[in-house]
């Protein structure tokens, strides 16, 4: 089982499939973990063929150091995929296969979804994500594509991308997979030292406490409480904590009946940035 590096080879493989074959796509940037494994297994259970793409997309990194330090573990990734199924197609394009002349992203507007939280703190990030995801959709024409809810804002933006660009694909959001202490699985967790990785349970504990408080307290008070406990914490620096309406991702003003809310958090542990979120109702 060898990865496919070129669009030409990938298309040859896809064109050889039966006409009505359904294709499940799991786009990744590699450094695969159990969260990715859960997406791949779900894709396998719902489609005739599964494609996993592994491409560290430069245009979605607003911080060059983060790009340089992003873990690259192709051998381990291939082993993880093979252990799930040796029938999976793995696509590992070079930058020049995806970006023709210049490694730049397209520019999109997603009805304001791109302006808050990750969009506000990571300039250009969602343009980069949408550019690579649209390119993969265009090339592979998947029936379904699978994304983790850990990047919930990304999931909303990709859903919006398919509406705006009229791309026929079902976007499937999959639950967050957590480490035993509650830390949301992420390729970046490998860069935490053992002690910080243990202590990072604080992030999910805070989200769980916020969820409990949401039953009785107003969002403004909860936000103040989260900011307060992080000010006291010596290991983690809070970048943002927001409670938003799930449909628009706009910060809540006051609770409205029959509206779904979610809490989102971004935290620095040394120079490493961790994000997480939780459904509140
Ligand atoms: O979530 C990710 O790993 C990336 O943002 C994605 C969707 C693979 C695009 O590069």
Statement: residue 198 has pLDDT above 90? yes
Is 61 found in the same domain as 107?
Answer: yes
The pTM assigned to this predicted structure is 0.97
143-184 residue pLDDT tens: 999 999 999 999 999 999 999 999 999 999 999 999 999 999
Within this chain, do residues 147 and 202 fall inside the same structural domain, yes or no? no
pLDDT of residue 1: 84
CB 112 within 8 Å of CB 248: yes
Residues shown for the chain? 281
Asked if residue 145 and residue 209 are part of one domain, the reply reads no
Q: What is the pLDDT of residue 95?
A: 96
Q: Whose CA is closest to atom 3 on ligand 1? A: 28
179's CB contacts (< 8 A; 6+ apart) are 185, 189, 197
pLDDT at 146: 99
233 is catalytic: no
> What's the CA-to-centroid distance between 218 and ligand 1, angstroms?
34
**Mean pLDDT of the chain, nearest integer:** 97
Q: Residue 179: inside a domain, yes or no?
A: no
Angstrom CA distances, 31 to 16, 81, 91, 130, 222, stand at: 29, 11, 14, 20, 35
What pLDDT is attached to residue 101?
86
CB-based pocket (< 6 A), ligand 1 = 27-29, 57, 60, 129, 132-133, 151, 154
Question: Reduced to 3 DSSP states, what percent helix, strand and coil does the chain have, rounded to the nearest 5?
Answer: 45, 20, 35
Shared domain for 42 and 76, answered yes or no, is: yes
In this structure, the residue with its CA closest to atom 5 of ligand 1 is 129
* pLDDT, tens digit (0-9, with 9 covering 90-100), for 1-60: 899 999 999 999 999 998 899 999 999 999 999 999 999 999 999 999 999 999 999 999
| pLDDT for res 114 | 97
3-state secondary structure of 218: coil
Which CATH number is 217's domain given? 3.30.1300.10
Atom of ligand 1 nearest to the CA of 187: 3
- Report pLDDT for 47: 98
Between CA 22 and CA 46 the distance in angstroms is 8
Exposed/middle/buried for residue 71 (C-beta within 10 Å: 0-12, 13-18, 19+): middle
Q: Whose CA is nearest to atom 6 of ligand 1?
A: 28
Q: Residue 264 falls within a domain, yes or no?
A: yes
Coil, helix or strand at residue 125: helix
Query: How far apart, in whole angstroms, are the C-alpha atoms of residue 51 and residue 221?
Result: 45
**Domain-located, residue 2:** no
21, 33, 36, 233: the catalytic one is 36
| pLDDT tens, position by position, 232-257 | 999 999 999 999 999 999 999 999 99
The Cα 23–Cα 212 span in angstroms is 40
Q: 251 forms bridges with which residues in the sheet?
A: 244
Among 171, 112, 176, 175, CA closest to 146: 171
Supply the range of the domain harboring residue 193: 187-279
Residues 80 and 137 reside in one and the same domain: yes
């Amino acid at each position: 089982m060898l990865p496919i590096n070129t669009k030409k080879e990938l298309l040859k493989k896809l064109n050889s499939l039966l006409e009505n074959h359904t294709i499940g796509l799991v786009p990744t940037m590699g450094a695969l973990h159990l969260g990715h494994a859960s997406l791949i297994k779900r894709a396998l259970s719902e489609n005739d063929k599964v494609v996993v793409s592994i491409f560290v997309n430069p245009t979605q990194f607003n911080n060059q150091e983060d790009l340089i330090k992003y873990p690259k573990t192709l051998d381990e990734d291939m082993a993880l995929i093979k252990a799930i199924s040796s029938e999976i197609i793995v696509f590992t394009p070079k930058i020049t296969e995806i970006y023709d002349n210049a490694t730049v992203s397209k520019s999109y507007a997603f009805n304001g979804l791109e302006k808050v939280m990750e969009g506000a703190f990571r300039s250009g990030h969602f343009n980069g994500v949408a550019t690579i995801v649209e390119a993969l959709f265009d090339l592979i024409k998947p029936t379904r594509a699978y994304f983790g809810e850990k990047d919930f804002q990304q999931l909303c933006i990709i859903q919006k991308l398919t509406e705006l660009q009229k791309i026929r694909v079902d976007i499937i959001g999959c639950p967050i997979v957590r480490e035993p202490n509650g830390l949301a699985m992420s390729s970046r967790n490998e860069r935490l030292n053992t002690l910080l990785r243990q202590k990072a349970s604080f992030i999910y504990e805070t989200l769980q406490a916020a969820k409990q408080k949401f039953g009785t307290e107003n969002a403004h008070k909860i936000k103040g409480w989260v900011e307060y406990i992080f000010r006291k914490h010596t290991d983690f620096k809070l970048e943002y904590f927001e409670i938003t309406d799930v449909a628009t991702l706009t910060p809540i003003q006051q609770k409205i009946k029959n509206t779904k809310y979610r809490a989102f958090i971004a935290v620095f542990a040394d120079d490493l940035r961790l994000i997480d979120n939780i459904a509140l109702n």
